[in-house]
Every structure is written in structure tokens, then in C-alpha cells.
Amino acid sequence: MVSIVCFIAILLPFTVFCTASASTITYNVVNFGAKADGITDSTKSFLSAWSSACASTQPATIYVPPGRYLLGSAQFWGQHCKNSAITMRIAGTLVAPSDYSVIGKNGNWLAFESVDGLSIYGGILDGRGTGLWACKASGKSCPTGATTLAFYNSRNIVVSGLTSLNSQMFHMVVYGCTNAKLQGLKILASASSPNTDGIHLQLSSGVSILNSRIATGDDCVSIGPGNSNLWIENVACGPGHGISIGSLGWDMQEPGVQNVTVKSVTFKGTQNGVRIKTWARASSAYVKGILFQHLVMVNVQNPVIIDQNYCPNSGNCPTQVSGVKISDVTYQNIHGTSATQVAVKFDCSKQYPCSRIKLEDVNLTYKTQPAVASCLNAGGTTSGLVAPTGCL
Ligand SMILES: *[C@@H]1O[C@H](CO)[C@@H](O)[C@H](O)[C@H]1NC(C)=O
Ligand SMILES: *[C@@H]1O[C@H](CO)[C@@H](O)[C@H](O)[C@H]1NC(C)=O
């Protein structure tokens, strides 16, 4: 619906400003009591603005003016919304409480649950995670920490032009969602910060991540169980642990991952480039229909890796055989430098060897020595120039 919205300027008689747009009601959080001073808790004001937008039958915009707004944990529920066109336009910065335990005990800082039709434009989210990271590094007992921005069981989500700084744990989580477009994001945390994954996806379908920069202490993007139809394009990743499918196969009954495209991504100084990782134990899970295309690796420790004996920090990991079936994985046009001699590593399940792996125009180099490829239980084909020469 397009209508004409007119504003009659009081100070300039007879002047009328008109804009053609879908008629939208705007809810400014300041009118609900939010204070842009960075010290007054504005959580309730944001929740009230949300309730009003959600109760409106017209498209609604929640506007956050410039300034700093202190927010504790906030859950925005969509179940009873009359509205499926809510926009949050954030010109300011949302800051977490200085005491990390306030949100750190809650699992999430800002969470949207069962929302249909939400677009978030702009904004800086400052999770102030450094205190919690220091607590964890000291070996003291600390709260687990909060995800900065989470979407659960939601549909038709857009997040555009948002910056997330120093999350306590994951910066963003998309869980049980359909159709989400995340674009123009900046996600930043120090390289040594624990579990500060950029974007974690789980049980979701139709998610795209575009034109973004992700630099954190863990995976830039982690793709957990039950994801399909994902598109990741034009992302700068690093520092961090790369883009990972997994960890998968912890549960005996676990949904698989299929139809994932990762293209035009640059990895700089990361632990991994594109990784598929599964636990070494029985599971019904699978990975299939994956395309890794047009990737640049700059000094990456494991540029191309499938690890079906995943064991982080050589901890107490299962040592059985992975039940996760991996097939139809294509690596196309991947260039650059490996920080270790093994530039391509496929360590697949003895019981379910990786099948239909394709390497095409892959050229990875290691300092002045030749890079090497290592394969265990992996089958497939190579075409075009492939260096190190394939071991499939
Ligand atoms: C794979 O996912 C893309 C979106 O990323 C979608 O456009 C395409 O239709 C999907 N393909 C199949 C076969 O479902
Ligand atoms: C692979 O890339 C390196 C570095 O860019 C280049 O020197 C080498 O010629 C390439 N290999 C082939 C066979 O094209």
C-alpha cells in the first residue's frame, strides 16, 4: 500500500512537505522514556516502544535517535503482534551494562522470538565483553556470557548496516528461522576473545549473509545442525576461525546441512578457511550440496579442511567413528597462501567416506616449499589446475 504522507510546517505557513511511502507510524524510544546518556537503564522504554509497534496494524518504525542507550537483557516477543512490518531504525549505540554478569547470566542480550517481518537498519551494539573475557582467562568461575543479538523461530528478517562490538559470546544467532537477510554488517572482537563467533546459524533456512566484515576470536560464521539454503557472499573474514559447517554429529538423531553457497570470501590470518567439522561418534546427520567458490586465502592455517575427528584443544573428545555423511562438496577457484604445509586436508569417516568432493582451480602455496594435500577416506574428482595436486 502506497499513500501520501504530508507534514504541514507550523513555522512556515502554507508550506506542505509530502513524501510518497507506505504510511508508517513512528515510535521514538525517547518518547517512551529512553535516555541517550549511556547510564540510565532504557530497557523498559525499548520494550514499550516494541509493544506499541507490535500492536499497530500499520507498518511501524521504532526510531532510536543518536546517543548511547544502556540496555539490560531484553526479549522482544512477536507471538501476539498484529504487525508483520516492523522497522527498527537505530541511529545510536546500544550499550550493555558495565557489570558483565547482568546479561551474562541470561544467555542473550537482545533477543527476538517468534517475529514475522522485522527489519533492523543501522545501529551499534556494544556488548562490552572485555570484562567477561578477562574473567574467563583468569580461570575464575564466570557466567557463560550472552549472545548480543539473537533471533529465534522468526521469519522474514532483515538486518542491514549494523555494527556489533565485543560481544560476550556469539555476536549473532539465527535459530529456527526462515528467510533472513543479514547485510552490510561489521562484527568485531579481539582475536583472543573466547567463543565470540560472528554469526551462528542453526535449524534455519533461506539465510543470506552479504557484504560484511567479521573479525573475532572464533568462527566468522558457524553453521550448526539443520540448516539449508544458505548464501554467504562477499565477506571479509579474519582474524577468527574461518567459516565452519559444524560442529555436527554430536547427537545420534540430528538434522543435516544442505545447499550452502560460500562465495567471494577473503580469509586473512584465520585458523581455518572453509571447514567442515564433525565429532567422532554415531549420528544420523549429513552434509550435502555445498559450494565454496572464489575464495582468497591469506596466510590461513587450514585453508581447506574436512575434519571428522574434531577435537578442539585436544580435550576429552569422542574417539569413535563419525556417522555424518558428507557428499557433493565443491571447491572452485580458491587461491592464496597457507600458513602450514598441509593446505588441503580431508580427514573423513572410515565408516562413511566423503564422496563426490570436487576440486577445481585450487592453487594454494606455502612459503617457499610446496604445499601438500592430505586425504583419508575421501573420494571425488579434480579438474583445472589443482595445487597442491589432489589426493582424492
Ligand atoms: C539453494 O539455496 C538457494 C538460496 O541460497 C536457493 O535460491 C535455491 O533455490 C536452493 N536450491 C534448492 C535446490 O533448493
Ligand atoms: C600458483 O600460485 C602461485 C602464487 O601465485 C604461482 O606462482 C604459481 O605459478 C601458481 N601455480 C600454477 C601452476 O599456476
User: What are the per-10-residue average pLDDT scores of the chain (392 residues)?
Assistant: 43 45 88 98 98 96 98 97 97 98 97 98 98 97 98 98 98 98 98 98 98 98 98 98 98 98 98 98 98 98 98 89 98 98 98 98 94 97 92 90
Closest CA to 232 of 201, 255, 189: 201
User: Ligand 1 pocket check: which of 178, 209, 228, 259 to mutate, most ligand atoms within 8 Å of Cβ?
Assistant: 259
239 CB-near residues (< 8 Å, 6+ apart): 191, 215, 216, 217, 268, 269, 270
Instruction: Please state, in angstroms and rounded to a whole number, the distance separating the CA atoms of residues 304 and 360.
Output: 13
- Ligand positioned closest to the Cα atom of 204: 1
Specify the ligand 1 atom closest to the Cα of 261.
5
CATH number for 26-184 (one of 3.40.190.10, 1.10.3720.10, 3.30.70.360, 2.160.20.10): it is 2.160.20.10
For the Cβ of 229 lying below 6 angstroms from any atom of ligand 1, the answer is: yes
**Whole-number pLDDT of residue 313:** 80
10 CB-near residues (< 8 Å, 6+ apart): none
- Ligand positioned closest to the Cα atom of 385: 2
User: Ligand 2 pocket check: which of 333, 363, 383, 386 to mutate, most ligand atoms within 8 Å of Cβ?
Assistant: 363
Which residue lies with its CA nearest to atom 11 of ligand 2? 363
Instruction: Please provide the CATH number assigned to the domain covering 219-392.
Output: 2.160.20.10
Q: What distance in angstroms lies between residue 353's CA and the mean position of ligand 1's atoms?
A: 25
Instruction: Please state, in angstroms and rounded to a whole number, the distance separating the CA atoms of residues 280 and 310.
Output: 7
**Whole-number pLDDT of residue 22:** 61
Phi, psi torsion values for 132, nearest 5 degrees = -70, -40
- Ligand positioned closest to the Cα atom of 298: 2
| Residue 171 falls in the annotated catalytic set | no
**Given the residues 80, 171, 200, 241, the one annotated as active site:** 241
In the chain, the percentage of residues whose pLDDT exceeds 90 is: 91
**Whole-number pLDDT of residue 4:** 43
What lines the ligand 2 site, CB under 6 Å? Answer: 363, 365, 385, 387
**Whole-number pLDDT of residue 205:** 98
Contact of 65 with 92, CB cutoff 8 Å: yes
Closest CA to 104 of 40, 195, 168: 168
**Whole-number pLDDT of residue 389:** 87
Q: What distance in angstroms lies between residue 211's CA and the mean position of ligand 1's atoms?
A: 19
Could you give the residue range(s) of every CATH 2.160.20.10 domain in the chain?
26-184, 219-392
Q: Give the pLDDT confidence of 305-341 residue by residue, as tens digits.
A: 999 999 998 788 999 999 999 999 999 999 999 999 9
Instruction: Please state, in angstroms and rounded to a whole number, the distance separating the CA atoms of residues 134 and 132.
Output: 5
Per DSSP, the residues of 57-100 read SS-EEEEE-SSEEE---EEEE-TT-S-S-EEEEEEEEEE--SST
Which residue lies with its CA nearest to atom 10 of ligand 1? 229
8-state DSSP, 390: P
Closest CA to 247 of 324, 180, 314, 188: 324
pTM value is: 0.94
